[in-house]
Amino acid sequence: MISVPEPTQTRKPIIAQNNHLITCSNCGNDSDFFEVADGVILTSRYIQNNDGSFVQDGDESQILGEVRLFCAECNHDLTAHHQRFVEMLF
């Protein structure tokens, strides 16, 4: 009687994924993003030096419209994740 070895099953390694990361559903990017704010008033304060040059003394911004989040790789709209983005800004 000839013994036939049982087929071995190859298992794929389990890769732990961080469920806390925002990931673009279009391209998979999970590192580069940008915000676009509509209706922004930016007020910058400057001090003029004796030689006529200027130095910024501060700025304030007021956002009057919607703020959207986008993938910086493919420009996919990720605004649905914006609240999570804001919560994780440090």
pLDDT in tens, 28-79: 999 999 999 999 999 999 999 999 999 999 999 999 999 999 999 999 999 9
For residue 45, is it within any domain? yes
For the chain, the distance separating the N- and C-terminal CA atoms, rounded to the nearest angstrom, is 70
In a domain, 43, yes or no: yes
The span from the CA of 27 to the CA of 74, in Å, is 7
**pLDDT single digits (tens) 20-38:** 899 999 999 999 999 999 9
**Residue 2 domain-assigned?**
no
Q: Is residue 11 part of a domain?
A: no
The number of folded domains in the chain is 1
Average pLDDT score over the chain:
86
Closest CA to 64 of 41, 34, 83: 41
Distance CA 8, CA 29 (A): 35
Range of the domain at 51: 33-87
Which among 26, 89, 39, 45 has a CA at the least distance from the CA of 65? 39
The DSSP code for 18 is -
